């Protein structure tokens, strides 16, 4: 398949592994930001093919995993109200809230539906004028434009029974938060290619300069990831820190400008709590005042719901790269994809789920 097979070519993989081996003179710790990259690394065993001195740690780039439990509880509270149809992407239905998850509530009769696009929820609103349709909007800058388009269309077409519970988050602030933490061990980043296809990578130059760290915008296939690691290590070994773009076939410096303009129109930047990571300044998006009438938090009066994360789940440490999933005592015992204790075991991009699917009997 074009643009897939050539990025899984064993000869290219071997060539890159040799090149990485040839330039590496000391241990380095690199974080892949995106959960899709984590999944690819574990699925293809790339971390085990690298020299032992290269440590890969798995970052917070899985949107389901970082959605705070308080927002799950808000969605649960809204879904229990009269005449509501709550819609979201499939993974969100199995993320545990403080008492239960959306799938439990659905089994008790609540009208909760899986959709593949926020625009599907808008169509549902048009077809059900006697119902209130709420779309639970999570995700990074990659999914935020489609959700922005849904609420923009709702306003244009005066659809007043459509609402959005918005919990979008942004990547650059969490990278800065990780680098500023006293326990930070990250020495180089593989930047999230999908996010940069929307936002470009102009925002990352300041981070690279401030923290003297390589940031390589990287794709998702084995050759992409190994090339990203090579570029990262080459910078570290030569002490030249800058932003490089490995994912040129998709990402440009400026990104998708119409998508960015739509986001600026629809959203405000706000502080946001990340699951397991606490509050991060200016890391979230919420609907701007112009779209307050479509804001589900305001309409259903759930802004005050604020739930603490469960102590047993150590996903916060995993998302900061401090431990690997198998180091959590609940991994593959009390916590499995069928009975997840935390969001990182639910999402297909979650680090715990990736280790469960590909390595659950090989603790390392
Ligand atoms: S294995 Fe389960 S409980 Fe442990 S960190 Fe992962 S999601 Fe949380």
Asked whether 291 and 159 are in contact (CB, 8 A), the reply is no
pLDDT of residue 201 exceeding 90: yes
Query: pLDDT tens digit string along 315-331?
Result: 888 878 888 899 999 99
Question: What are the residue ranges of helices labelled H in the chain?
Answer: 10-23, 35-44, 46-49, 63-66, 69-79, 102-107, 118-127, 144-156, 171-180, 193-199, 204-211, 222-238, 257-266, 296-299, 315-319, 351-359
* Residue among 101, 324, 330, 347 whose CB has most ligand 1 atoms within 8 A, to mutate: 330
The angle subtended at Cα 294 by Cα 291 and Cα 296, nearest 5°, is: 125
Q: What are the helix and strand counts (H, E) for the chain?
A: 16, 11
pLDDT reported for residue 347: 82
Identify the burial level of 6 via C-beta atoms within 10 angstroms of its C-beta, where 0-12 means exposed, 13-18 middle and 19 or more buried: exposed
C-alpha torsion sign, points 71, 76, 81, 83: positive
* CA atoms lying within 13 Å on the CB side of residue 173: 20
pLDDT mean over 178-203: 96
* Alpha-carbon dihedral angle through residues 317, 320, 326, 332, given to the nearest 10 degrees: 70
Determine the 3-state secondary structure of 151 from DSSP.
helix
Q: Whose CA is nearest to atom 6 of ligand 1?
A: 352
pLDDT of residue 228 exceeding 80: yes
Determine the 3-state secondary structure of 54 from DSSP.
strand
List the one residue out of 62, 49, 320 whose CA is nearest residue 186.
Answer: 320
Q: Which atom of ligand 1 is nearest to the CA of 315?
A: 5
pLDDT reported for residue 144: 97
Least confident of 21-25, 35-39, 288-292: 35-39
For ligand 1, whether the C-beta of 315 sits within 6 Å is: yes
pLDDT mean over 158-167: 98
pLDDT of residue 4 exceeding 90: no
Query: pLDDT tens digit string along 60-116?
Result: 888 888 899 999 999 999 999 999 999 999 889 988 898 999 999 999 999 999 999
pLDDT of residue 364 exceeding 70: no
The residues, any chain, with a CB within 8 Å of residue 112's CB and separated by 6 or more, are: 79, 85, 86, 87, 88, 93, 102, 103, 105, 106
Report the run of H or E that residue 58 belongs to, with start and end.
strand 54-61
The proportion of the chain whose per-residue pLDDT surpasses 70, expressed as a percent, equals 99
* Alpha-carbon dihedral angle through residues 7, 347, 250, 29, given to the nearest 10 degrees: -70
pLDDT reported for residue 55: 94
pLDDT of residue 363 exceeding 60: no
Residue 349 CA to residue 351 CA, distance in Å, equals 6
pLDDT of residue 350 exceeding 70: yes
pLDDT reported for residue 361: 75
pLDDT reported for residue 111: 98
The angle subtended at Cα 268 by Cα 214 and Cα 210, nearest 5°, is: 20
pLDDT reported for residue 232: 98
Q: Whose CA is nearest to atom 3 of ligand 1?
A: 313
* Residue among 342, 349, 351, 363 whose CB has most ligand 1 atoms within 8 A, to mutate: 342
pLDDT of residue 185 exceeding 70: yes
The sheet with strand 84-88 has its strands ordered as 112-114, 84-88, 132-139, 162-169, 278-287, 267-274
- Separation of 318 CA from ligand 1 center, angstroms? 9
pTM for the whole structure: 0.92
For ligand 1, whether the C-beta of 325 sits within 6 Å is: yes
Residue 98 CA to residue 190 CA, distance in Å, equals 33
Residue 227 CA to residue 16 CA, distance in Å, equals 7
pLDDT reported for residue 276: 80
Mean pLDDT, all residues of the chain = 94
Query: pLDDT tens digit string along 44-55?
Result: 999 999 999 999
pLDDT reported for residue 310: 80
């Amino acid at each position: 398949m074009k643009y897939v097979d050539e990025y899984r070519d064993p000869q290219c993989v071997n060539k890159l592994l040799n090149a990485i081996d040839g330039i590496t003179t000391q241990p380095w710790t690199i974080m892949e930001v995106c959960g899709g990259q984590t999944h690819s690394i574990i699925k293809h065993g790339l971390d085990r093919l690298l020299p032992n001195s290269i440590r890969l740690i798995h970052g917070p780039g899985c949107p389901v995993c970082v959605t705070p439990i308080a927002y799950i509880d808000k969605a649960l509270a809204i879904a229990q109200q009269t005449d509501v149809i709550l819609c979201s992407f499939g993974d969100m239905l199995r993320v545990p809230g403080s008492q239960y998850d959306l799938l439990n509530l659905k089994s008790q009769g609540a009208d909760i539906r899986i959709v593949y696009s926020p625009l599907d929820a808008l169509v549902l609103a048009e077809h059900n004028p006697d119902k209130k349709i709420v779309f639970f909007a999570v995700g990074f800058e990659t999914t935020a434009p489609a959700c922005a388009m849904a609420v923009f269309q709702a306003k244009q077409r005066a659809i007043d029974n459509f609402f959005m519970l918005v919990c979008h988050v942004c990547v650059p602030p969490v990278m800065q938060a990780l680098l500023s933490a006293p326990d930070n061990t990250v020495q180089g980043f593989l930047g999230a290619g999908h996010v940069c296809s929307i936002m470009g990578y102009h925002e990352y130059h300041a981070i690279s300069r401030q923290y003297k760290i390589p940031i390589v915008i990287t794709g998702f296939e084995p050759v992409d990831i190994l090339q990203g690691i090579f570029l990262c290590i080459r910078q570290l070994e030569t002490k030249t820190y800058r932003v490089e773009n490995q994912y040129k076939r998709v990402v440009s410096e400026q990104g998708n400008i119409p998508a960015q303009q739509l986001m600026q129109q629809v959203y405000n930047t706000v502080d946001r709590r990340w699951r397991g990571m606490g509050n991060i300044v200016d890391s979230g998006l919420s609907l701007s005042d112009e779209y307050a009438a479509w804001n589900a938090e305001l309409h259903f009066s759930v802004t005050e719901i604020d739930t603490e994360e469960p102590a047993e789940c150590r996903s916060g440490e995993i998302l900061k790269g401090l431990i690997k999933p198998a180091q959590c005592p609940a991994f593959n015992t009390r916590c499995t994809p069928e009975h997840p204790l935390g969001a990182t075991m639910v999402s297909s991009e979650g680090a715990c789920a990736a280790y469960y699917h590909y390595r659950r009997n090989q603790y390392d």
